[in-house]
Amino acid sequence: MPAHPPHLDPRTHTALRRLDLTIVRRLDGLLHGEHLGLRLGPGSEPAEARVYQPGEDDVRRMDWSVTARTTVPHVRDLVADRELDAWTLLDLSASMEFGTADAEKRDVAIGALAAVNVLTQRIGDRFGAHFLHRGNIRRWPARSGKAALLALLTTAVEAPRHTTPATGGADLTTAMADLARTRTRRGLRVVISDFLDQAPPNPQARAPWERPLRQLATRHQTLAIEILDPRELDLPDIGLTAMHDPETGRLREVHLTPQLRHRYAAAAHAQRTGIRAALRRCGVPHLTLRTDRDWILDIARFVIEQRRTAHRLARHTPADPR
């Protein structure tokens, strides 16, 4: 079995291990891990100091600095450390098998799945996935450890390609709603998709998947990773060409005139602007990865920016009175 996940070479894997995707939302959980829990309990993160209650409080938790300042005995509670449950919705629909640059969108999406789990994995953490494939939702149970990550990625890599139109009725909206309904324990939720399924045609239009995504973001720390190919933004000047719709299997010859290419570019720009606006309305961080760019570098830049944001939030968030 390889020492590093598929789609990540050893140097990339080493670089990602030097980063970490900071989790700033409080978590549910019973096991001890390296993330803040919802309740007070055994752990290493200090909470608020309070007046010492004789016979009830452990004198080993005495906060001597507060006691000295107030001349009244105080103890300091600790916030329980909890393990992280990370769930990823990976879109493996037919549109993700498109790619005209260095890789297909599907390859970049699986690489992003590997990178996110490498960045967030700590002791006791578990990660699982929901796959949207051929109109069906396939669930991979949450597990921990390198062997589980390799098995998860191998399953994604070996998912059959689309040779015929999808047979199931599930779409991105249904898949998001299923993830929100079945995985209620607080943690990290990542949606990796091109978001072309029922995408809003302009910034004013509402996407059907906004409501389930907003439900995810309300309870969990949520990240949306958009996968993009440059040919989805503009068309080349190649004249008459055959266009194939991977979702329906339809084939049509199109003459790419300058007027058509201009209209297509305008419509594609409006659609992508609509997707960005929809994700912004849901209140989720948005990372765009392209098949013609170094997506590892883009992830690294995003993680560094998120870390700075987490530090700013930590400085300006008042202490939990519990």
Tens-digit pLDDT profile for the chain (322 aa)? 344 555 555 555 555 555 555 554 444 443 334 444 433 344 444 556 788 888 778 888 888 988 999 999 998 876 544 677 889 999 999 999 998 888 899 999 999 999 888 887 776 688 999 999 989 999 999 888 888 888 898 999 999 988 777 777 899 999 999 999 999 888 889 999 999 988 898 899 999 999 999 999 998 989 999 999 999 999 988 888 888 887 777 889 999 999 999 999 999 999 999 999 999 999 999 999 999 999 988 998 888 887 777 667 656 555 444 4
Specify the pLDDT at position 264: 94
Specify the pLDDT at position 117: 85
Amino acid of residue 199: A
Closest CA to 112 of 307, 274, 294: 294
CB atoms closer than 10 angstroms to residue 112: 25
Specify the pLDDT at position 317: 54
Polymer length of the chain: 322
Whether domain 10-22+83-316 has CATH 3.40.50.300: no
CB atoms closer than 10 angstroms to residue 104: 18
Both structure tokens of 281: 């309305």
Q: What is the DSSP string of 27-83?
A: B--SS--SEEEEEEEEEEEEEEEEE--TTTS-GGGB-HHHHHHHSS-EEEEEEEEE-
Q: Where in the chain is the domain with CATH 3.40.50.410?
A: 10-22+83-316
Report the SS3 class of residue 102: coil
